[in-house]
Chains A and B, each alone.
Chain A
Amino acid sequence: MILGFALSFIAMIAGGLFGRHLAISQVGRTGETGSAGPNRAHSLPKFHGYMLAWHIGFAALGLLALHGFRRDLLSTPWLIAGLALTTLLAALHSRRIIKPELRARDYVERYVRISLLLCSAVAVLTTFGIVLSLIFESARFFEKVSFLEFLTGLQWSPQTAIRADQAGQSGAFGAVPIFAGTFMIMAVAMLIATPIGLMIAIYLSEYATAKVRGIVKPFIEILAGVPTVVYGFFALLTVGPAIRGLAESMGFAVPTQSAIAAGSVMGVMIIPFISSLSDDVINAVPQNLRDGAYALGATKSETMTQVIFPAALPGIMGAILLGVSRAIGETMIVVMAAGRAANLTGNPFEAVTTVTVQVVSLLTGDQEFDSAKTLAAFALGLVLFVITLILNVIALLIVRRYRERYE
């Protein structure tokens, strides 16, 4: 494969040089393209070269794709032979077509556009692929477990489903407890991240001197760059025990793994999102609104709370929604610090589990991929995907609407 790529690349360069050479011999060097006259070329020689290189490139891409997916049809020796053959054919073809009046430059422009389109198609197709596979696998799951039971059932115990001695029992796939756990942890996280993130944004954009901002901003960026695994063991080894210790000193028994431990650390993780997005929207509030408030004799805090904050509110809402969707999709912290027990509880000091945790635990270990247990992971993934998609779309709409208002 790598050899194939290298060979194609060399063939493209050689083709480019050859095409340019052909064009020069056909129509002369650059100077003549500009001059009017019977022999005036449409395109510079280099464009003839690019055109040939691109022809070879497209053919090679086809061969490489075939080689990649169906090695039985196109083995390595045949690939090399095919590359050589197409290169030769393209070169011969260009001998026929390269003439002064050939619109090579237009072809090159078109090929550039096609190549760029192919690259963006990768993103679009991947999205479609992911969505389709989620939908198909979920459909298989819902053949075994009813959709209604999944969405409204209060009991989640997928483990029993695959035990051979309990073959008659299908396990319980009521997803309510794990969605409840997800939302509880999200709520804890947002309760921490929203106020702190907002205060940071307000401080940095309105109050801090350039010097303080220069110090604080890098630290926030570091916070944003901490791998979630690190947050996870921070939650498990530091925050969880601290909360348990505190609760025990007050006479409560609290597990190390709890919604509050995972949620609070997740809140810290989300702070930089909220603060940097809100910082942006607050900065986008036009200076003349501030001037208007100051000129009326408003103090700095009156200006902030009564003029700038309401003006920035839609954008801030968008930032919060993006934070929420991060919180719901976050996996590592909750896997390590939230626990796996699907408790349906309103008490944040208990262990709960989340959608992402369940997906991880359903799919780790060697299971066949057609039991209800493993297929349940896809159904959970689908619901999670739909929720975060909706949140993201709403958030982006709000943010965009807000941007337009202050064009």
Chain B
Amino acid sequence: MVTLSSDPQAASDMQLAPEDLKFHVRNVRVSYGEKEALHGVDLDIAKTGVTAFIGPSGCGKSTFLRVFNRMNDTIPGARVSGEVLLDGEDIYGPDVDPVLLRARVGMVFQKPNPFPKSIYDNVAYGPRIHGLTKSATELDEVVEKSLRRAALWDEVKDRLNEQGTGLSGGQQQRLVIARAIAVQPEVILMDEPASALDPIATARLEELIDELKDRYCIIIVTHSMAQAARVSQRTAFFHLGHLVEYDATNTVFTNPTDSRTQDYITGRTG
């Protein structure tokens, strides 16, 4: 058994067996220029299921999420230090190619961002650049399978050649998920994926996340505590760049140890 955290502040009873471990994060700090946004985070992420990051706006949830696929590399002036192991391998190691890492760790953003291409080409984009398929029929299969998994196939199967940008917001977000799935990632990161969607599209998205959770390791940032409670099995609460509490979602919401967590989930801080 691995103890979750060496940080006494993030007191937790959460323990993960080594074989259940996907990410192992120790003392991760991220700074933008002079300003440090994350002040040393320790946390382990399980292989399957949904882990939710919650906390007030600006506390560093997105910054931390971008640590897992090295998207912070694309931000000028951002620096990451600490240890992040994916299946035991340091993803910030000198011989790790962030381009290949991102094929293993997919990401879905706050605002749906389909490319201005056809629905088909959106989903086929990842397999094409990574050369994952050998033939056109195989690519067709990957596209169909990904769209099915993203619960979008039935809605778009007759108009795969139409622009992806012409879909509704909720469909676009599922298209983007299909696009990520098509690269056969092991992990899917989601940064407030429902914040631009209406309640019905949000419900569909949450259903989808629930279906995907057995196959993928999913990490979701959300500002909605109700959403975290609905979709996640584990929840991490961040505050001002610190990981404050990390535990089974149930425990965090019913019996938080830290007073800051308690204040946040009862709505006393925002």
A residues with a Cβ closer than 8 A to B are 286, 288-299, 302, 306-307, 310-311, 405
Chain A residue, CB-CB nearest to B126 = A296
B129 interfacial by beta-carbon distance below 8 Å: yes
Q: Across the A-B interface, how many residue pairs have beta carbons closer than 8 Å? A: 65
* Chain A residues within an 8 Å CB radius of B116: 289, 310-311, 405
Which B118-168 residues have a C-beta within 8 angstroms of A?
125-126, 129-130, 165
Interface contact A296-B106, CB-CB below 8 Å: yes
- The distance from the CB of B174 to the nearest CB of chain A, in whole angstroms, is 14
Chain A, Cβ-Cβ closest to B125: A296
* B71:A302 contact, CB within 8 angstroms: no
Q: Is the CB of B111 within 8 A of A288?
A: yes
- The answer to whether residues A295 and B125 also contact, given A289-B113, A311-B115 and a CB cut-off of 8 A, is no
Chain A binding surface, main DSSP class: helix
User: Closest CB of chain A to B168's CB: distance in Å?
Assistant: 16
Known contacts A296-B102, A299-B99: does B129 contact A291 (CB below 8 Å)?
A: no
Which residue of the partner chain, among A289, A295, A299, contacts B107 with CB atoms under 8 Å? A295
CB of A292 within 8 A of CB of B176, answer yes
Question: At the interface, yes or no: B17 with Cβ under 8 Å from chain A?
Answer: no
Residues of A within 8 Å of B183, CB to CB, are 296-297
Q: Which single residue of chain B is at the shortest CB-CB distance from A314?
A: B116
Which one, A293, A297, A310, contacts B100 given CB within 8 A?
Answer: A297
CB nearest neighbor in B for A311: B116
Chain B residues with Cβ below 8 Å from A289 are 113, 115-116
A66 to B191, CA, bound (A): 70
Selected contact of B180 from candidates A294, A295, A310, CB within 8 Å: A295
Contact A286 B180 (CB under 8 A): no
Known pairs A295-B180, A297-B130 / 14 extra A-B pairs, C-beta < 8 Å: A288-B113, A291-B74, A292-B113, A294-B74, A294-B102, A295-B71, A296-B129, A296-B183, A297-B100, A297-B102, A298-B99, A311-B115, A311-B116, A405-B116
B179 interface contact, C-beta 8 A? yes
Residue ranges of B at the interface with A (Cβ–Cβ < 8 Å): 69, 71, 74, 99-103, 106-107, 109, 111, 113-117, 125-126, 129-130, 165, 176, 179-180, 183
CB-defined contacts of A307 to chain B, threshold 8 Å? 115
Bound-state Cα–Cα, A297 to B184, Å: 12
Q: Which residues of B contact A302 (CB under 8 A)?
A: 129
Q: Which of these, A293, A297, A306, contacts B103 with CB under 8 Å?
A: A297
B130 nearest CB across to chain A (Å): 6
CA A114 to CA B102, docked complex, whole Å: 61
Bound-state CA distance A286–B69 (Å) is 20
Distance in angstroms between the alpha carbons of A41 and B33 in the assembled complex: 59
With both beta carbons as reference points, the residue of chain A lying nearest to B130 in the complex is identified as A297
Given A288-B109, A302-B129, A306-B125: A295 in contact with B115 (beta carbons within 8 A): no
- The answer to whether A294 touches B117, judged by C-beta atoms less than 8 angstroms apart, is no
Kindly list chain B residues whose C-beta atoms are within 8 Å of the C-beta of A290.
74
Contacts of B180 in A (CB 8 A): 295-296
> Could you list some 26 contacts between A and B, CB below 8 A?
A288-B111, A289-B113, A290-B74, A291-B74, A291-B109, A292-B109, A292-B113, A293-B115, A293-B125, A294-B102, A296-B103, A296-B106, A296-B125, A296-B126, A297-B100, A297-B102, A297-B130, A297-B183, A299-B129, A302-B129, A307-B115, A310-B115, A310-B116, A310-B117, A311-B115, A405-B116
The residue among A289, A291, A405 with the most chain B CB atoms within 10 A of its own CB is: A291
Q: Which residue of A lies closest to B107 (CB)?
A: A295
Residue from B71, B99, B179 having most chain A Cβ neighbours under 10 A:
B99
A313 to chain B, nearest CB (A): 9
Contacts of A296 in B (CB 8 A): 102-103, 106, 125-126, 129, 179-180, 183
Residues of B within 8 A of A288 (CB): 109, 111, 113
Task: Name the residue of chain B whose CB is nearest to the CB of A313.
Answer: B116
Bound together, the chains give a CA A158 to CA B251 distance in angstroms of: 94
